[in-house]
Amino acid sequence: MFTATLIAAQNFDAGDISAAADHVASAGAQVLATRWVEPNKALDVDFSGDAVAVRAAVEQAFVATDAIVQPTAQRARTLIVADMDSTMITIECIDELADYAGIKPQIAEVTERAMRGELDFESALRSRVALLKGLPEAVIAQCLAERVVIMPGAKELVRTMRAHGGHAVLVSGGFTRFAEPVAAEIGFNRAIANVLGIRDGLLTGDVEGEIVGAATKKQVLEQTRTALGLGVDDSLAVGDGANDIPMIETAGLGVAYHAKPKTAAAAPARIDHGDLTAILYAMGYPRAAWAMAV
């Protein structure tokens, strides 16, 4: 049995739950049950049939609505591994550091291409960091205070999963100086990211050690799952860039969040309209079951 969860960016009308069942049936599936996860905001349709066909049917039928289709028995995941920039926070940190250096357009273009999968991530990161050489270390704290905004729904998502016995890891192709405080604020168990070279209060233009890229993100997901004794179906991965694709494809449920086209195409689930709380609805948690952010 599968469940199609539909989450409205605004609100559903009273008749939309029956309309959703009709569209599921139009894909050749047998509708088994319908219910509100959250009245007028999120609904479930349980069915047996072709999950891919059902997802296509409901996505086409409902405008400004996110649809996540998954096996019913596996929907309440225990492990979340998440990207940071443009996923758990609203910005790309390296672009904002570049703004303080007066070279944001130059770096932001490379960031965009790397996130689209048009450039090798590791080479693109090293080349961008090199352009920050000589930037005062103090700018990092300034950028963190002035520019970093937590993505809507991030705290609710991570804290709710942990409140229900889950484990959360932030794994970022960005930098520890941002990832560690962001992880602490949101509620992650730990953070993994790149280390900026700093000497005498200035950025050296280097990344210390191995780059945290696509392979590392996938490895963190697999190793954490194994360490916790979890199965593949217990895991959830969420990200927006091409370097998130391997972990998205490896997770029990991979979610592309307001993602680049290549990432969205690779993911079995997408959130294009709502915020990160859409994932909570997809796991069957109404607002009353959330660990609310403070």
Residues 87, 92: Cα–Cα separation, whole Å: 9
- Say what the pLDDT of residue 292 is: 78
3-state secondary structure labels for all residues of 108-120: HHHHHHHHCCCCC
Q: Are 134 and 46 in contact (CB under 8 A)?
A: no
Q: Do 179 and 154 meet the contact criterion of CB atoms below 8 Å apart?
A: no
Helix, strand or coil, per DSSP, at residue 256: strand
Answer for the pair 214, 207: CB distance below 8 angstroms, yes or no: no
The pLDDT tens digits of the residues spanning 56-91 come to 999 999 989 999 999 999 999 999 999 999 999 999
Domains annotated on the chain, with CATH: 1-75 (3.30.70.260)
Q: What is the model's pLDDT at position 293?
A: 60
Residue 294, pLDDT score = 52
Supply the residues annotated as catalytic: 83, 85
CA-CA distance, 83 to 126, in Å (whole number)? 19
**Which residues does the chain have with pLDDT short of 70?**
293-294
Q: How far apart are CA 134 and CA 130, in angstroms?
A: 9
Q: Where are the beta strands (DSSP E) in 120-240?
A: 167-175, 190-199, 202-208, 235-239
Give the gyration radius of the chain's Cα atoms: 20
Instruction: Report the pLDDT value the prediction gives residue 192, as an integer from 0 to 100.
Output: 98
